[in-house]
């Protein structure tokens, strides 16, 4: 008789646990009706990034494009080059700084390249989530034929994917990529 009572209690606990876990997963789902604005991505002031990398590699533009490409399925609209002071309430705003680049000239022969960034997601002027991320690449296949910008571009593409995944369920103090 006691075994039956324990069995009924155990079954009740399992059903309750399943119900609460179902509810939690619904909270994290994207509705696809939200708007994301990607604020202009820029380089942090320190440490300085070599002028040739800033001018030739176009890393901020590439990162914006990759985030747009990989996160498009989670938002009704992704806006870039938008004055964030004019966006409607409830719009999510993503701010990103490129904080460090390791990419000595000499293509793959000069060693691995890496890009580090920080980002903050705001909604109605409140921090909704933030992260730091880094990606490192040696260049991949046929690396001996790739230049520094190409290898840094691989890092930027991977960071774009990392950020898109994070945007599904943004959290505070998140670490992404190769940290």
pLDDT at 24: 34
Tell me the whole-structure pTM to 2 decimals: 0.77
Looking at the structure, tell me whether residues 11 and 79 fall in a common domain.
no
- Same-domain status, 135 and 153: yes
Which pLDDT score, from 0 to 100, does residue 138 have?
75
> Does residue 26 sit in the same domain as residue 44?
no
Let me know whether 23 and 85 are in one domain. Answer: no
Q: Which domain holds residue 105?
A: 31-177
Judge residue 113's burial from the number of C-beta atoms within 10 Å of its C-beta, 0-12 exposed, 13-18 middle, 19 or more buried. Answer: buried
pLDDT tens for each residue of 7-41: 444 445 444 444 433 333 333 345 567 899 999 99
Are 41 and 97 within one domain? yes
On whether both 24 and 59 belong to a single domain, the answer is no
The 8-class DSSP code of residue 69 comes to: H
Same domain, 2 and 78: no
Q: Looking at the structure, do residues 100 and 64 belong to the same domain, yes or no? A: yes
Same domain, 20 and 91: no
Closest Cα partner for 158 from 72, 78, 75, 63?
Answer: 63
Please give the DSSP secondary-structure letter assigned to residue 41: P
Q: Are residues 68 and 136 in the same domain?
A: yes
What 3-state class would DSSP assign to 125? Answer: coil
Q: Please give the average per-residue pLDDT across 43-67, as a whole number.
A: 89
Same domain? For 15 and 60 the reply is no
Specify whether 40 is located in the same domain as 12. no
pLDDT for the residue 106: 55
Average predicted confidence (pLDDT) for the chain: 81
- Contact between 119 and 144 under an 8 Å Cβ cutoff? The reply is no
pLDDT band per the 50, 70, 90 thresholds, residue 1 = low
What CATH number corresponds to the domain at position 60? 3.40.50.10610
Average of per-residue pLDDT across 126-152: 81
pLDDT at position 47 is 74
pLDDT exceeds cutoff 60 at 176: yes
**Tens-digit pLDDT profile for residues 99-126:** 999 876 555 555 678 999 999 999 998 9
In total, how many domains does the chain have? 2
């Amino acid at each position: 008789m006691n075994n039956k009572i324990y069995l009924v209690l155990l079954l009740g606990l399992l059903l309750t646990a399943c119900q609460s876990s179902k509810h939690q997963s619904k909270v994290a789902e994207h509705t696809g009706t939200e708007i994301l604005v990607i604020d202009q991505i820029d380089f942090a002031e320190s440490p300085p990034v070599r002028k040739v990398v800033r001018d030739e590699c176009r890393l901020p533009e590439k990162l914006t494009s990759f985030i747009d490409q990989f996160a498009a399925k989670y938002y009704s609209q992704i806006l870039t080059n938008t004055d964030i002071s004019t966006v409607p309430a409830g719009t999510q705003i993503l701010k990103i700084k490129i904080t460090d680049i390791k990419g000595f000239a000499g293509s793959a022969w000069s060693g691995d390249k890496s890009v580090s960034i920080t980002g903050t997601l705001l909604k109605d002027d409140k921090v909704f989530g933030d992260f730091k991320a880094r990606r490192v690449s040696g260049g991949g296949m046929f690396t001996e034929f790739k230049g520094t910008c190409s290898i840094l571009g691989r890092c930027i593409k991977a960071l774009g994917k990392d950020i898109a995944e994070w945007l599904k369920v943004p959290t505070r103090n998140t670490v992404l990529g190769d940290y």
